[in-house]
A and B are shown apart, each in its own frame.
Chain A
Amino acid sequence: MYQVITQRVADWLSGLGRVGHFVSDTVSSARDTRIWPGLTVVQMRRIGVNSLPIGLFISAFTGVVLALQSSYTFTGAVPLYFVGTLVGKTVMLELAPVLTGLALSGRVGANIAAELGTMRVTEQVDALETLAYNPFSYLVLPRVLAATVMFPVVVAAAMAVGVASGWITAINLLDLSTVEFVKGLQIFYNFKDIWFGLVKAVSFGFAVALIGCVKGLSVRGGAEGVGRAATEAVVLSAEVILVLDAFWAVVLL
């Protein structure tokens, strides 16, 4: 038992060490400014286009559910305009960043892991190296940067849509006016609500892309290895997102 635990811890630490190496290689590859800026823009477009619909879809429905559930909970006990408060706070602080992050860990993380994994097993990564390209500046840095920048953009849009759909639900399905909803929204509103959500989104974007790259580039074997890497990337990034979520709550709230 004791041995199993120490083995686990050792594995975990060596994994962490590898990721540390990976990050420092990525950072030092930033020196080659002729390679990554253009590719980063391409990746930003890709990640944005891939992620925006799913982020908005999720938050639209979340807004509806939050409005209805909070009114159900509050009716008879708390003034109904608190629906606005609850929708706003929950969407901005937690649900827009985390649900979007989890959805994107599937979409973006798996995509990166599968793409880089395929490039690894078909020797495209080796080919890049022999053509005197550093795979970190050609493949990793653009993806990590793009995700780090684009996740908060998507999450910001998700926040707006989530609140808007909560508001539309409140005025149509609940006995609430726009004035009351906005009053509830403003009453405990704190600028921190938004940037807290966005800081989380930044860290999620970084983690998801980084995990996708690490898993993708370390693929061994063929199609099976690529499939495994994609799955592992999704599972690990989902876990890391939840851990980071708790971490930020402890540190920033």
Chain B
Amino acid sequence: MIIFRDVHKRFGPKAVLQGFSLEIREGETLAIIGYSGSGKSVALKHIVGLLEPDAGEVEVDGRIVHLLSRPELADLRASIGFVFQFAALLDSLTVRENLMLGLKRRDLPEMEMEERVAESLELVGLTGADDRYPAELSGGMRKRVGIARAIALRPRYILYDEPTTGLDPVTSAVIDRLMVRAREKFGVTGVVVTHDMRSAFTVGDRIAMLYRGAVRRVGTVEEIRQSNDPVVRQFIEGRPEGAADAEDAASGAVA
């Protein structure tokens, strides 16, 4: 269970999150949608303690993230897989070494680590890429390695930051299916940040829309689909004009 309670976060003069509250329930996959620059990645980073709230708190499994000591935080992070928007692979390491990195912290037998690496690479369709360096991969391949690195850990939670942005439609569908499988097979609780509505509808049990630093609407896929909130409608239909001014929305919120 992940709970955001009235989280505020600003960078200099720029208020990004302003009273962001959201609950992610055990076993569900929640999709977070919202304009580019609205603070989706910032929200996600609060869950693993990469950012600390200026006010409010984020609770994961009963622990308040920003109050944890370093070892406690490391402990918490071990239960969370984070898929970065731009993959964030260590570029001095090969694909295999990137996957091993997290596994080595788990005290697993060598055999099991090898198996998990092979299995995860197969799941993302990258069998055989083991010994290549991130610089030798395409953007989409890197992204898939980032996903493999997270699922290899078999964490309780996986946070996907735009896992399908920039991928071709077929690969996107493969990734969507992968996220669904991760939940079914391993019972993973997932948070998927995306602006790909098709992906949000496919993988999400519920959808939350982040707008002007707070949750504008949250509900089941059906509820969001049927929503008559003009801001939500405009976003899911992708209309240039409407209630939300995209420029304004994209700049996060009023400074």
Contact = CB atoms under 8 A, between A and B. Distances in A.
Interface string A122-158: 1110111111111000000000000000000000000
Contact of B50 (A119, A129, A134): A129
Interface string B225-238: 00000000000000
Contacts of A126: 45, 50, 84, 88
B87 to A, nearest CB: 8
A128 B70 CA distance: 14
A114 to B, nearest CB: 13
A130 B150 CA distance: 10
Contacts of B89: 124, 127
Given A130-B50, A130-B80, A134-B74, A122 B105 contact: no
B108 to A, nearest CB: 13
B37 interface: no
Contacts of A130: 48, 50, 77, 80-82
A127 B91 CA distance: 12
Interface residues of B, number: 22
Nearest to A129: B50
B55 interface: no
A138 B91 CA distance: 14
B84 A123 contact: yes
A126 B149 CA distance: 14
A129 B84 contact: no
Interface in B117-136: none
Interface in B73-101: 74-75, 77-78, 80-82, 84, 86, 88-91, 101
Nearest to A131: B102
Interface string B208-248: 00000000000000000000000000000000000000000
Given A130-B50, A134-B70, A123 B105 contact: no
Contacts of A119: 90
Contact of B86 (A123, A129, A131, A132): A123
Nearest to B45: A126
A124 B82 contact: no
Given A126-B45, A126-B50, A131 B88 contact: no
Most buried by B among A124, A129, A134: A124
A124 B84 CA distance: 9
A38 to B, nearest CB: 11
Contacts of B91: 122, 124
Most buried by A among B49, B82, B86, B149: B82
A133 B50 contact: no
A132 B105 contact: yes
Contacts of B77: 129-132
Given A132-B74, A134-B70, A127 B84 contact: yes
A216 B102 CA distance: 23
A132 B78 contact: yes
Interface string A100-129: 000000000000000000010011101111
A4 B197 CA distance: 54
Nearest to A128: B90
A52 to B, nearest CB: 22
A110 to B, nearest CB: 17
A98 B88 CA distance: 38
A131 B101 contact: yes
Most buried by B among A123, A124, A130: A130
Contacts of B84: 123, 126-127
A133 B105 contact: yes
10 contacts: A126-B45, A127-B84, A127-B88, A129-B48, A130-B50, A130-B81, A131-B77, A132-B77, A133-B101, A133-B105
Given A124-B88, A134-B70, 12 more contacts: A126-B84, A127-B82, A127-B89, A128-B101, A130-B48, A130-B50, A130-B81, A131-B77, A131-B102, A132-B74, A132-B75, A132-B102
Interface of A: 119, 122-124, 126-134
- Across the A-B interface, give the 8 residue pairs with the lowest CB-CB distance, nearest first: A127-B88, A123-B88, A130-B82, A131-B102, A132-B74, A132-B77, A132-B105, A132-B78
